[in-house]
């Protein structure tokens, strides 16, 4: 078998994984949620970046939650899938991880 290649040359593999294994892992047991409101806005749902301010993450995740709860026609199917997944700091099916929830500030009048 020949080495997978990209336009830049040989494909780089992750630690201990070939690209086929990685792709299979990504696509296995993923629901087909046609019409999902999150399609096209994955950045809202992603976990916090290392240098991202907690308030920015909280507001981004709040926008993701509203997208799910108010605009998604497949929320029930997504929730059924999300129950089998680990959140890993991301928004799934309108559920915000505890670590990124906004909390009221006491110093604001």
Query: What are the per-10-residue average pLDDT scores of the chain (109 residues)?
Result: 50 61 69 87 91 92 94 93 84 85 61
Collapsed DSSP state (helix, strand, coil) of residue 53: coil
pTM of the model as a whole: 0.65
Cα separation, 102 vs 105, in Å, equals 9
pLDDT at 70: 94
pLDDT at 79: 92
Q: Residue written as tokens 């299979």?
A: 24
pLDDT at 29: 64
pLDDT at 45: 92
Cα separation, 104 vs 18, in Å, equals 46
Confirm if 20 and 64 have CB atoms less than 8 A apart: no
pLDDT at 8: 46
């Amino acid at each position: 078998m020949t080495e997978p290649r990209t336009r830049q040359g040989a494909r780089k593999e992750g630690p201990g994984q070939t690209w086929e294994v990685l792709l299979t892992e990504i696509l296995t047991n993923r629901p087909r949620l046609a019409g999902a409101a999150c399609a096209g806005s994955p950045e809202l749902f992603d976990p916090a970046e290392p240098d991202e301010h907690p308030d920015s993450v909280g507001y981004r995740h709040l926008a993701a939650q509203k997208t799910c709860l108010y605009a998604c026609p497949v929320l029930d199917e997504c929730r059924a899938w999300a129950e089998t997944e680990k959140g890993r700091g991301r928004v799934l099916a309108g559920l915000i991880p505890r670590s990124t929830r906004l909390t009221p500030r006491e110093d604001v009048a």
